[in-house]
Amino acid sequence: MSKRTDSNSYTMIFAVVMVLIVGSLLAFLASSLKPAIKENERIEKQQNILYAMGVNENDESSATFVSTSVAGEEFAKYIKKQIVIEGDKISENDEAYLIDVKKQQANAKEGKIRKLPLFIGEKEGKTFYVAPIRGKGLWDAIWGYVSMDENMVVQGAYFDHKGETPGLGANIKQRYFMDDFYGEHLLTKAGVFKGITVAKGNNDPKNEEKTDYEVDAIAGATITGDGVSAMIKKDLALYVPYFKSLKK
């Protein structure tokens, strides 16, 4: 069938017009929905931080946040102080949770000072220090929030990912993996930062040994697990001076 739609010039014009229409339609939609999406991401950050310090609605196996409608309220209730550490300078900032860890990591690479946000929460008389971490998984970014006590013993962790393999790497956000971090020590007795390794052969799958600096890895998710170890070691090490200063 030879029609006018088969000519080269028609094909070209069609392609250009179609791309223009589709492009502007998507651009318009993306910018008009942006505020709503940003708001959702903001609430999610609050939920993540609360989750790490144990304010959540977990049942026996699922990881469930406090509901979005009360996230703001709960955040204000439990998070007593938000601080930003810039080198030796420590300042309070009520919107420290909005600091983009990715941007700050890029800043650090360029030699600029990296702003380190830390959220200090209080629950049932106990103080929690929640720090954000970010790193690389197998396919894309992974990130998380780790809450610690003043001795840098982990009190809870939340991990999330952008595009890890469902059923394998994506399981870092499952309870059985995240719960293993609870009680793990980050510092040696002498006070040297050692971090936590997601280890395959640690002979401690039930995670009873809390001072071995290891948690049990997920089968089939070696690279994602290594990414989790790396981001814990890299990002949490930066907070060590602050925790040392607490002791003085």
DSSP type of residue 140? S
Place of tokens 């002791």: 247
The least CB distance from residue 224 to another protein, in Å, is 14
Element spanning 104, H or E: helix 101-109
Alpha-carbon torsion (52, 57, 60, 61), positive or negative: negative
Pick the closer one to another protein by CB: 46 or 104.
Answer: 46
The least CB distance from residue 227 to another protein, in Å, is 17
Pick the closer one to another protein by CB: 30 or 246.
Answer: 30
Measured distance CA(127)–CA(78) in Å, rounded: 10
How far from 180 is each of 9, 20, 68, 87, 151, CA to CA, in Å?
63, 51, 26, 32, 18
Pick the closer one to another protein by CB: 24 or 188.
Answer: 24
The least CB distance from residue 167 to another protein, in Å, is 6
Measured distance CA(13)–CA(22) in Å, rounded: 14
The least CB distance from residue 12 to another protein, in Å, is 9
Element spanning 121, H or E: strand 116-123
The contact set with another protein (CB under 8 A) reads: 1, 5-6, 10-11, 14-15, 18-19, 22, 25-26, 29-30, 33, 36-37, 40-41, 43-44, 60-61, 68, 162-163, 166-167, 170
Asked if residue 71 lies in contact with residue 51, where contact means CB atoms within 8 angstroms, the answer is no
The least CB distance from residue 180 to another protein, in Å, is 18
Pick the closer one to another protein by CB: 144 or 195.
Answer: 144
Pick the closer one to another protein by CB: 139 or 193.
Answer: 139
Measured distance CA(194)–CA(100) in Å, rounded: 26
Pick the closer one to another protein by CB: 11 or 245.
Answer: 11
The least CB distance from residue 26 to another protein, in Å, is 6
Element spanning 25, H or E: helix 8-52
The least CB distance from residue 3 to another protein, in Å, is 8
The tokens of 206 are what?
């039930």
Up-side HSE of residue 103: CA atoms within 13 Å toward CB?
Answer: 5
The tokens of 164 are what?
């890890």
Pick the closer one to another protein by CB: 160 or 212.
Answer: 160
The tokens of 61 are what?
């196996």
